[in-house]
Amino acid sequence: MKLTEHISSGAASDEAIIQLRGVEKTFAARGANAPVTALHEINLDVPRGAILGVIGRSGAGKSTLIRLVNGLELPSSGSVRVDGVEISALEERALRQERRSIGMIFQHFNLLARRTAFGNVALPLEIAGVSKAEIRKRVLPLLDLVGLSDKVDRYPAELSGGQKQRVGIARALATNPKVLLSDEATSALDPETTEQILALLKQVNAELDVTVLLITHEMSVIKGVADRVAVIDEGRIVEEGATYDVFTGPQHATTRNFVSSITGTRLPEHLATRLSATPSAGKEALVQLVFKGEGAAQPWLSVLTRKLDVDLGIVQAKVDHISGRPFGTLVVSLPDVAKLPALLETSKELGLETEVLGYA
């Protein structure tokens, strides 16, 4: 069931509903430990109606960033705004009120063991003083939305991990939030369940016009759900943009490392260790070809072989879809290194991006 009768409407736009400007967060010294700066000069916009993923390694500052958005942490300096409201400037009572427009789902579900699925989803409404009749009117459609209409009276111990997370999503939506924050919400789930939860988040985003900000250390999660991605490394945003653009043209070393395992641009370890930067007798050139858009489905190996009259070996190849658009990589070996300039020039003429990975 679509909950449009319960959700305030608003078309998606490029307007930023979440804005971070010049945000720094330093945690005070504890004992003999020096102060720790978790975030440095963070500037980030989350467009209204979008799904933006923040990816980074453990300790990169992801969790601190998301806790700033709902006021669980306050910035040491800078500005954090949600729908025009300066979160860090709110008194506790006003902050509690504002949090009703900011839903939160967690890695380990955070459900109350002695409450049923219905009771867990109803909890934030009870705290807000909503009547029992209105609570029922709100909770049952939400449980239907997340696929748990038959689990209304089940307790968390009777639910699978994916079902628990569905309850968590329904609970986060109970107060009609404008924004949904996801803190590693799929990290404790198996791959199949992860796909289901990501599909649910996309459904929530599309049907309820709820902006989603999620943090993760898994690039496959970003690929599966996010419109935009921001890469955080050592407390700094090092790259940000549309998911397709970042996946197909990563600029920062951290980003390239993240996307390589997803896009097929990472060589097998046994081959990578044999690569040298300069040609020598008996070694073949390894060249990576990148093709985007509709051209990803073209038989590029046959085209290049015929045009150049060369033998090209396939080292690895992958064609995938990112944000609904095709993207492919092909790593070839070229025995006749003298023909490498011609291969690079012809590939460029055909609109392919190329990179000489080395010689092996």
| Dihedral sign, Cα of residue 192, residue 194, residue 197, residue 199 | negative
**pLDDT number for residue 229:** 96
Find out whether 147 and 160 touch, Cβ atoms under 8 Å: no
CATH number, domain 16-101+176-261: 3.40.50.300
Q: What are phi and psi of 160, to 5 degrees?
A: -75, 170
CA 78 and chain centroid, separation? 24
**For residue 261, pLDDT beyond 80:** no
Please tell me the pTM assigned to this model: 0.85
Residue 13 pLDDT level (bands cut at 50, 70, 90): very low
Task: Give the separation between CA 356 and CA 303, rounded to whole angstroms.
Answer: 19
264-359: in CATH 3.30.70.260 = yes
Residue 116: name the closest of 141, 145, 140 by CA. 140
Q: What angle do CA 177, 135, 148 make, to 5 degrees?
A: 80
Question: End-to-end alpha-carbon separation of the chain, Å?
Answer: 57
- Range 314-320 contact pairs with CB under 8 angstroms and sequence separation of 24 or more: 315/267, 315/271, 315/286, 316/264, 316/267, 316/268, 317/264, 318/263, 318/264, 320/262, 320/263, 320/264
Cβ proximity of 177 and 101 under 8 Å = yes
Q: What is the pLDDT of residue 264?
A: 66
**Res 40 pLDDT > 70:** yes
pLDDT, residue 11, reads 36
Tell whether the model's pLDDT for residue 58 goes beyond 70: yes
3-state secondary structure of 231: strand
CA distances from 123 to 55, 187, 202, 313 (A): 31, 25, 24, 61
Q: Is the pLDDT of residue 209 over 60?
A: yes
pLDDT in tens, 113-138: 999 999 999 999 999 999 999 999 99
Is pLDDT of 346 > 60?
A: yes
pLDDT, one tens digit per residue, over 309-335 is 888 998 888 888 888 788 888 899 999
Domain residue limits, the chain: 16-101+176-261, 264-359
Q: Which two tokens stand for residue 213?
A: 């900000």
> What length is written for the chain?
360
